[in-house]
């Protein structure tokens, strides 16, 4: 099978061009044209002669995502996109536009391996890992469709990036390459629930001299509870990836990269908002420079198990547990302890595009 040209970093493309006895200066032209995001076939690559296009089409494929549907939320200025891969699987991506900031939330898997209790994607189960080209093409397609240049990229869509590690890392190299889209690594965040040895490996890869273009990529840990027992109930993989081990790797990450940590924390009233949670979050925030993003829980159309069964759609008092009063009180309590806290907005909650709501079973 031919390799998708979108999957190749510049170095990989340059080596392939050399093996085909093509002048290597052409590699820069080809990479730029392919990763400008505006071409969808070899025929419409700009600044590439016709005979070279024929050689490329003979030796590579050009597999693009197909945009099936877009859904816009005027309330949040947020758009959700449904894409289909060349092999027929579906994924969702989200664009959040705020003044001069256009944040694209991208997926790394079809479905997810982790199975978080609060996440619609996790309820789908795992279908496949996305290739590097399928990851980056979400951004290209959204930019082409909206005519907006992405300013920030977050790997927080469908799937667990660290369970598709090599393809995720390759996509970072492609996106930050100055011969392509040239997105600054400081504007990219990768979110993970945390896996032993993977956070440390990520730190080592970011600090490798050969990877200097991605050295400032940010890391976000989906924490959601400081209690091991509760976290194991809502995030199944945390049974083998316990918090003390992850904390050690986060310290290593900061000391190696110099980049502060972000903790993602979905607020579950009566479950992860106790005085002990406040104390542990205060201690955690003083471990290394960090900030905590508090996220409202966004209901999903799946049956939830304990301890989150209070959020099932048929629960009589579900609205009580979605009150913003308790959430704001929790944030105030943290700030009183000098913890750096941000409240994440529920952008796109009305179109099922907010955190934890991405799923394609009904599309």
Domains of the chain, start order: 3-61 (1.10.150.530), 66-351 (3.20.20.70)
pLDDT digits (tens, 9 = 90+) for 216-264: 999 999 999 999 999 999 999 999 999 999 999 999 999 999 999 999 9
pLDDT digits (tens, 9 = 90+) for 112-167: 999 999 999 999 999 999 999 999 999 999 999 999 999 999 999 999 999 999 99
- 3-state DSSP assignment of residue 221: strand
Q: Assign 361 a pLDDT band (cuts: 50, 70, 90).
A: low
pLDDT digits (tens, 9 = 90+) for 166-195: 999 999 999 999 999 999 999 999 999 999
Instruction: Name the nearest CA neighbour of 190 among 228, 216, 211, 151.
Output: 216
Look up tokens 């390759």; give the residue: 170
* E strand segments, the chain: 3-4, 60-61, 66-73, 78-84, 90-98, 101-105, 109-111, 126-129, 152-155, 188-192, 218-222, 261-267, 290-296, 341-343
Tell me which DSSP letter residue 155 carries: E
pLDDT digits (tens, 9 = 90+) for 269-315: 999 999 999 999 999 999 999 999 999 988 788 888 889 888 886 55
Catalytic residue among 105, 116, 119, 355, which? 355
CA 40/CA 290 separation, integer angstroms? 41
pTM of the full structure: 0.95
What average pLDDT does range 183-211 have in this prediction?
A: 97
Do the strands 109-111 and 126-129 form a parallel or antiparallel pair, or are they unpaired?
antiparallel
355 carries an active-site annotation = yes
What are the φ and ψ backbone dihedral angles of 79, each rounded to 5 degrees?
-125, 135
Catalytic residue among 12, 63, 92, 249, which? 92
Q: Is the dihedral of CA 161, 237, 305, 229 positive or negative?
A: negative
Question: Tokens representing 362?
Answer: 């009904």
Q: Is the dihedral of CA 31, 34, 37, 38 positive or negative?
A: positive
């Amino acid at each position: 099978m031919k390799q998708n040209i979108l999957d190749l970093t510049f170095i990989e493309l340059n080596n392939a061009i050399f093996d085909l006895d093509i002048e290597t200066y052409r590699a820069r032209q080809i990479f730029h044209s392919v990763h400008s995001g505006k071409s969808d076939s070899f025929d419409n690559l700009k600044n590439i002669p016709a005979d070279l296009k024929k050689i490329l089409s003979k030796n590579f494929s050009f597999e693009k995502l197909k945009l099936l549907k877009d859904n816009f939320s005027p309330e949040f200025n947020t758009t959700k996109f449904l894409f289909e891969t060349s092999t027929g699987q579906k994924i969702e991506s989200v664009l959040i536009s705020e003044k001069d900031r256009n944040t694209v939330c991208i997926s790394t898997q079809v479905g997810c391996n982790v199975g978080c209790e609060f996440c619609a994607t996790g309820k789908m189960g795992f279908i496949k890992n996305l290739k590097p080209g399928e990851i980056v093409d979400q951004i290209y397609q959204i930019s082409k469709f909206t005519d907006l240049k992405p300013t920030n990229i977050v790997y927080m869509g469908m799937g667990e990036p660290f369970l598709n590690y090599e393809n995720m890392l390759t996509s970072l190299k492609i996106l930050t390459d100055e011969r392509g889209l040239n997105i600054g690594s400081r504007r990219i965040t990768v979110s993970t629930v945390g896996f032993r040895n993977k956070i440390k490996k990520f730190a080592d890869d970011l600090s490798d001299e050969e990877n200097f273009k991605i050295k400032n990529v940010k890391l976000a840990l989906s924490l959601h509870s400081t209690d091991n027992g509760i976290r194991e109930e809502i995030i199944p993989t945390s049974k083998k990836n316990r918090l003390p081990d992850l904390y050690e790797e986060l310290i290593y990450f900061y000391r190696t990269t110099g980049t502060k940590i972000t903790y993602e924390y979905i607020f579950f009233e009566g479950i992860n908002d106790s005085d002990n949670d406040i104390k542990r979050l205060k201690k955690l925030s003083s471990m290394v420079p960090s900030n905590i993003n508090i996220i409202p829980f966004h209901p999903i159309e799946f049956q939830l198990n304990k301890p989150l069964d209070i959020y099932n759609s048929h629960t009589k008092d579900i609205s009580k547990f979605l009150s913003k009063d308790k959430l704001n009180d929790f944030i105030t309590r943290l700030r009183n302890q000098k913890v750096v806290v941000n409240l994440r907005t529920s952008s796109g909650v009305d179109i099922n595009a907010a955190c934890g709501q991405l799923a394609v079973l009904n599309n």
